[in-house]
Amino acid sequence: MGKLMLLMTVFIVFAALFVERLIVFRQKLFADRELPPKRLPNCELIPGIDNGAEDIDILPNGLAFISSGLKYPGLKTFEPHKGGQILLMNLRTENPRPVELKIEGGFDLDSFNPHGISFYMEKNDSIYLFVVNHPEGKSAVEIFKFFQDEKYLLYLRTVTNELLSSVNDVLAVGPEHFYATNDRYFRSETVSVYVEMFWGLSWTNVVYYSPKKVKEVASGFYSANGINMSPDGKFIYVADILDHSIQVFQKMSNMNLSPVKALKLETILDNISVDRKTGDLWLGCHPNAAKLFTYDPKNPPGSEILLVKDILSDKPKITQVYVDDGSIIQASSVAVFFERHLLIGTVFQKALFCHM
C-alpha cells in the first residue's frame, strides 16, 4: 500500500509539473496575439520575391542584400525544389527591383539554403558578405566577396565548427571574423521541440569565430535568433525568440560579451536591424507564432514591425509601426530602414517596400 501511495504521489507531482510546463511552453512558443491591422499608406509588394526574404542587410550606398528561399524544418516553403538565392536591390533607384546575384568560384548552388546574412566593409571599401547556410540540414557560414561594379559574389570559403551547430544569424565583424547565434541545442528537431523547448532549457548561445580561435561568448538563451551591433560597435543585441526579449551585451576587447540588460517584448521577435545613423532598432516580429508553425493558407500568420529607440536608456521607447493579419504579408522576419524607406522581409513569403 505504501509503494502504491508513493507511485500515485510521484504521478500526481509529475502530472502537475507537466501541465505547468505545457502552459509555459504555449506562452513562450505560441504567443498568439490577434492585433488590429496597422498599415502604412505608401507600400507595395516587391515583384520577384515570392519565396521569402528572411534577412536583409543594406550597404551605406543603398544596395540591399536579401536572402531568399530558406527551407527550415517545421516551416512552410512555397517552392521546395527551388534553390536559395541572394538578391540585390538598389533602394536609391526610382523603381527598385531585386535581381539575383551570380555566385562564382565553385560554390555549390544546388544545396544553397540561405538564412541570416551580414556584410563587413573594410577601409579600402572591399565588401564581404556572410551567409548562414543549411546545406542538407547542416549549419555553415559562407563567406563571399562582393564586387559592386560587376554585381556578383565570389565564393571564398565555408566555415564549419562543432560550436556552430544550429546557426540562425550572423554578425560580421571582420573579413573572416563573426558572431553567430545558435537557435537550438539538440540537432534533432523532435528532441529540440519536445525536450529543449518544452522543458524550457536555456542552452543556446552566441559563438565568436576567428581563424585562430572559436569560442562561446554568451549563453543562457532559450533560442538565440537575430543578432546585430550598435553603430559605435560597443554593444551587441541578441533576440531570444522564446524569451520574447532583446538581450543587450557590451562587446569586450577580447570579443567576449558582457550582459548589460534585457528588454522584454509582448511579441516573438526574429531579426534585429540597426539604423546606422540613429542607433534605432527595427524588429521583424511574429504576433501569432502558432500560425507560423501550423500553416493554414486560409488563416495565415500575420506580421508585426516594431521600432525601439534609446534601448540603452532606463525607458526605451517602443513603437508599433506596422501590423498585418497575413492578408498582405505573412510571417515578417526583418525590417530595415534606409533614407525614409522601410523594407520588410518574411520567412517564406513576399517582401514589402514602403515610403515613409
Chain centroid offset of residue 350 CA: 16
Q: Residue 180: which region, alpha, beta or left (left: phi > 0; alpha: psi -120 to 50)?
A: beta
Give, as one character, the DSSP assignment of residue 84.
P
Q: CA-CA-CA-CA torsion for 72, 73, 78, 80, nearest 10 degrees?
A: 80
108 is in an annotated binding site: no
From 115, 134, 177, 341, active-site residue: 115
Does the annotation place 254 within a ligand binding site?
A: no
Q: Is 182 annotated as a binding residue?
A: no
216 is in an annotated binding site: no
* Residue 225 counted as an annotated binding residue: yes
d(CA 275, CA 168): 21
Phi then psi dihedrals of residue 103, to 5 deg: -120, 120
Decide: helix, strand or coil at residue 290.
helix
Residue positions counted in the chain: 356
- Is 280 annotated in a binding site? The answer is no
What is the C-alpha to C-alpha distance for residues 155 and 40, in angstroms, rounded to an integer?
38
The residue to which cell 509582448 is assigned? 266
Q: Which of 281, 283, 297, 282 is nearest to 330 (CA)?
A: 297
Q: Is 115 a catalytic residue?
A: yes
CA dihedral sign, ordered 39, 40, 42, 43: negative
The residues that are catalytic are: 115
Annotated binding residues: 54-55, 117, 168-169, 225, 270-271
Q: Could you tell me which residues are annotated as the binding site for Ca(2+)? A: 54-55, 117, 168-169, 225, 270-271
